[in-house]
Amino acid sequence: MLKVLVVDDNEVNTMILANMLEQFNISANVASSGDKALHFVERYYYDMIFIDHIMPKMDGIQTTRAIRAIYPDKQKTIIIALTSNVTDKLKFRYRMAGANDIFCKPLELEGLTTIIKQWFNDLDFIYKEKKDYQCIDPWSRRIRAMLSNVEEIDYEDGLMYALGSATQYINILKVACNDLSANLESIGINIRTNSEDDLRNDIHKLKNILTSIGALGLLKSVSELYNEYDFTIKKTVTKKCLRIEMQLKELLTKLHRVLDQYDAMIKNEKEKQETPYPPITDSEYEQCLTNTIYYIKRFEYDSIVKSLELLIERDHSDNRKELQLVLYDIQEFNYDGALNRILSIKKGIDAISIPEN
């Protein structure tokens, strides 16, 4: 099993990369700074280390140089630098510091696969079969509906970094909200104190967070500000920062509202599961199943959902998982798929009910 360390001061970035590494059955340690990374490498051996470029105190190049002093063999410990803007000059500086390669971030699963195969092609990795999160994530449709009111978010783009899991996307948004709040506070302080380098770092961190959650419109504004950053026009920079600050506050308000809705939904579902339901007889179960089939054939959405939720609540057999998939099909308006699944369930029950001669 490979031992991997991820070094990045952005918690959202580390969360996403660690989640991707899990697809290869790789559990990574996480360090939020160069100093903390050195704390790890002085105590443990790592096969591969991912290092962010822009970090406070020790940047990626300094961290790479310090780690390479501990792990001098570039073939035994692979160091991969990550940055939002790869240039020839930066490639040269990292290679001089001891990095094996540099890639543009945020990494996608395909890019991570390429890196791992490039440096460890002699090892047999047990790649986890890509999960169909659309089927196993029961909250997918509801989460999508909640986030539809957040115009600043591109749901599909954000979902990509959560590997298709709506629940994981919510977890990323929770961390991102904390990071954005801290970032907003830092931007305000650095504008008032004219701390130019720190303000530039704040803007860079904003880019990373907004990319990871799919806030494409705001990302464009922040990227333009970062690229044209010129301290000879401080008034213009400050004005743009303040405008972006207002937009971020509005985004945070909307996201907090969605996250509160999500938490209330989960709490309500948990309470429902803990509430004992009276037992359902075999005949009642079969009648409910028959009614559901009838509703599906007539495309009566509300009746279908109500009937299925009743079946799922009362069913503690192996059919429960299949019934949840039927409900998901209905929520996605895949009536044919739902009908085929539930007919298969009924066929199995009917076969059990037929007495042997």
Helix (H), strand (E) at residue 267: helix 234-274
Q: Provide CB contacts within 8 A for 312, sequence distance 6+.
A: 320, 323, 324, 327
Distance separating alpha carbons of residues 135 and 140, to the nearest angstrom: 9
**What does DSSP say about strands 48-52 and 78-83: parallel, antiparallel, or unpaired?**
parallel
Share of the chain above pLDDT 90, in %: 32
- 3-state DSSP assignment of residue 316: coil
Distance separating alpha carbons of residues 10 and 56, to the nearest angstrom: 11
Q: Compute CA 213 distance to the chain's CA centroid, rounded to the nearest angstrom.
A: 8
User: How big is the CA angle at 100 (ends 76 and 17), to the nearest 5 degrees?
Assistant: 90
253 dihedral zone (left: phi>0; alpha: psi -120 to 50; beta): alpha
- 189, HSE (Cβ side, Cα atoms, 13 Å): 10
Residue 84 gets which letter from DSSP? S
- 3-state DSSP assignment of residue 16: helix
| CA dihedral angle for residue 11, residue 17, residue 19, residue 21, rounded to 10 degrees | -150
Helix (H), strand (E) at residue 4: strand 4-7
Q: What is the pLDDT of residue 132?
A: 46
State the residue for tokens 């999500």: 262
Residues spanned by CATH 3.40.50.2300 within the chain?
Answer: 4-119
Residue 152: both structure tokens together? 């600043």
Q: Which amino acid is at 62?
A: Q
Q: pLDDT (tens digit, 9 = 90+) per residue, 52-110? A: 998 888 999 999 999 999 999 888 899 999 998 889 999 999 999 999 999 998 888 88
Q: pLDDT (tens digit, 9 = 90+) per residue, 147-197? A: 988 999 999 888 888 888 888 899 999 999 999 998 888 888 887 787 777
Q: Provide CB contacts within 8 A for 181, sequence distance 6+.
A: 252
- 3-state DSSP assignment of residue 275: coil
Distance separating alpha carbons of residues 63 and 58, to the nearest angstrom: 6
Mean residue pLDDT across the chain: 84
First-to-last alpha carbon distance for the chain, in angstroms, is 55
Distance separating alpha carbons of residues 340 and 136, to the nearest angstrom: 18
Residues spanned by CATH 1.20.120 within the chain?
Answer: 134-274
Q: pLDDT (tens digit, 9 = 90+) per residue, 272-330? A: 666 656 667 778 888 889 999 999 988 888 889 888 888 888 776 678 888 888 988 88
- Give the global pTM: 0.70
**Confidence band, pLDDT 50/70/90 cuts, at residue 230:** low
State the residue for tokens 């490039």: 118
Distance separating alpha carbons of residues 58 and 11, to the nearest angstrom: 17
**Confidence band, pLDDT 50/70/90 cuts, at residue 352:** low
Distance separating alpha carbons of residues 323 and 345, to the nearest angstrom: 8
Residue 230 gets which letter from DSSP? -
**In the predicted model, is pLDDT for residue 215 greater than 60?**
yes
Share of the chain above pLDDT 70, in %: 87
- 3-state DSSP assignment of residue 26: coil
Helix (H), strand (E) at residue 233: none
Which class is 4-119 in CATH? alpha beta
DSSP labels, 94-122: HHHHT-SEEEESSPPHHHHHHHHHHH-TT
Q: Which amino acid is at 252?
A: L
On whether the CB atoms of residues 98 and 68 are closer than 8 A, the answer is: yes
Assigned architecture for domain 134-274 = Up-down Bundle (1.20)
